[in-house]
A and B are shown apart, each in its own frame.
Chain A
Amino acid sequence: MNELSLYILDLVQNSIEAGATIVKIEIIEDLVNDKFSISVKDNGKGIPKDVITKVTDPFYTTRKTRKVGLGLALASQLAKDCNGKFSVDSSGKGTEVKIELQNSHIDRPPLGNIIDTLLTLIATAPQVDFVYIHKTDKGVFAFDTKKLKDILGEDVPLNLPSVLEFIKRELSDGLSNLFGGANIND
């Protein structure tokens, strides 16, 4: 996979399959320390310990472990390739997957189209609450579908075309502000 946003999509798919109702995606671009970090945290049913050690090994992807996600193996490999760190914590409630990469590493994929990833998730799993936080040296962008739901009410799902269109605009505005340098702390 050549975009970090595809790794993120895959990790969140695991969360959804684990029955999560809240998924928090956090990206921190820390130029000062040359780090690009991604965290995906959910309140799903978690991954058993013995399975975690297996799924991060790409050579141990039998049919059985596939369900838990070949993506974890890919993500851990990516961290290795980019002089980074990878961890899965499923000890408490839910699961948190962390990927930390050397930002300037030649093999670090670009973030890619994170808006498409978020839209895909919201469109196909409108029942889940997604929180997206993106920090750079210039500021923070925060997006929370729960806030939209509060206004739209129970009976209007987020995957209606008109709502998705609104979300797409919110995300592109917010992110272009972030990269344009404005500080848009929520």
Chain B
Amino acid sequence: MANQDNSRKSITIENLEAAFAGESMAHIKYRYFAKLAREAGADDVAKIFEDTADQEVMHAFGHLDLLYPKTQLTPAKSLEIAIEGETYEYTEMYPKFRHLAIEEGNHAAVAEYDEQIAESREHAENFKRTLEKAAKRFAALAKVEERHANHYQNALNSLKVA
């Protein structure tokens, strides 16, 4: 994010980043709720979520406007920021998440042996399936984000050649 090079980040910059993350999450969450509402036949509810989600985007844009001022942002700079973000996701974030999901899965398996109650066993098995799926998903996403990073890098290279 902005001012990343400063060792001590301004509290307001941190708050802007938190507000950006919050609005972004709300946007996606409402889009997801709208999708489920539409599937359930509640079109009016879906519409409410979609309209609100659209507004959250504009709120998030407002925060970005301060975090990444337009005057400092060239297309090349944008690509560099995007490459940095995607590279972090595929080299650090998703590999780490995957590792931890597998590790947690192993612990869950151990815990399962200690549980004698059928209900707990079922919960443990469901949870293990979630962990296995999460591990596979993180692995798949790491590859997608790597392609995104490469795609951005190619675009940046073209800009520099042009």
Instruction: Indicate, yes or no, whether A interacts with B.
Output: no
Which A residues lie at the B interface, using CB under 8 A? none
Chain B residues engaging chain A, CB cutoff 8 angstroms: none
